[in-house]
Structure 1
Amino acid sequence: MGRCEGAFTCNLGVCSITRAELKGATEGLHLAWREGYRKVELNLDSSTAINIIKAWKNSDHVHGLLATQIGTLLKRDWDVRINHIFRESNYFADFLANRGHSVNFGTHFLDVSDPNFCYWLNYDSMDITISSSRY
């Protein structure tokens, strides 16, 4: 609906894109549950992360801990739909990911009244494609 109900950013240090995507999914699901949402869309732009989540079996996998945490969250009494979306359709997520480079290590919950949130949410809701050099 183009409204931000909660936001976070993470500084994970040096890690793979897949690990960052899985960590974001974990934190996002925790936030949604904590805020009382029981119908959730988890939009990820990494098909690799989605495959790990949907076909999880091996706890010895390099992303085993995160995948297990996500699997545990998905078993709760709620409806979570996992969707693959293109990076160009999710500027708000990229904005938050880029913000993670400027904060201390760990997860940081953000003030949703930040005017930048509306700016990027509007691009996402209108399906506007712009150059990544804009942000």
Structure 2
Amino acid sequence: MGIIKGLQIATANEFHHGIIESDFAMAINFVKHGCPAQYLCTTLLEDIAILVKRIFQVHWNHILQEANLVADILAKKGQDLSYGLHIFHAPPPDTIHALSSDAMGILRLRGCK
């Protein structure tokens, strides 16, 4: 659902290029290659395919959790927010250092702050 919401925001803002990164390798694999019949993800993948057609170029990347500190901080922050979609128009102050680290490709060990 996170991928779908991200694509909906991208298409609503008329983005023409996108990089979709997830630490959930199976999700990226399903988007790239389809999902086996025993999984109930066909409808989600169809929705993703429709949204992707509205964007000129999309790259799909599996990224290790350790390489995406910002996503980890935002996921934890989401636990304290009210239910629903929250869009930040500027990076929250507690993500500034993490943005720099992610941009430089600095990895952190799991469990380390």
What is the TM-score normalised by the length of structure 1? 0.70
Which of 65, 76, 83 is the matching residue for 1:98? 76
Aligned to 2:93: 115
CA offset digits 1:81-127 (Å, max 9, x no partner): 11111111111111111122112222211241521232211110122
Q: How many residues align?
A: 112
Runs (5+) with no aligned partner, structure 2: none
Percent identity reads: 29
**Contact between 2:11 and 2:55, CA under 8 Å: does it hold in 1?**
no
- CA, structure 1 residues 90+57, in 2 after alignment: closer, same or farther (shift >3 Å)? closer
Instruction: Find the aligned partners of 1:119 and 1:101 in 2 and give their Cα distance.
Output: 21
Which of 42, 45, 55 is the matching residue for 2:23? 45
Q: Does 2:6 align with 1:25?
A: no
In proportion to residue count, which structure has more strand?
1
- CA, structure 1 residues 29+101, in 2 after alignment: closer, same or farther (shift >3 Å)? same
Quote the RMSD (CA, aligned, Å). Answer: 2.2
Greater RCO, 1 or 2 (C-alpha within 8 Å, sep 6+): 1
Instruction: Find the aligned partners of 1:109 and 1:59 in 2 and give their Cα distance.
Output: 34
**Contact between 2:11 and 2:54, CA under 8 Å: does it hold in 1?**
no
Alignment partner of 2:40: what SS?
A: coil
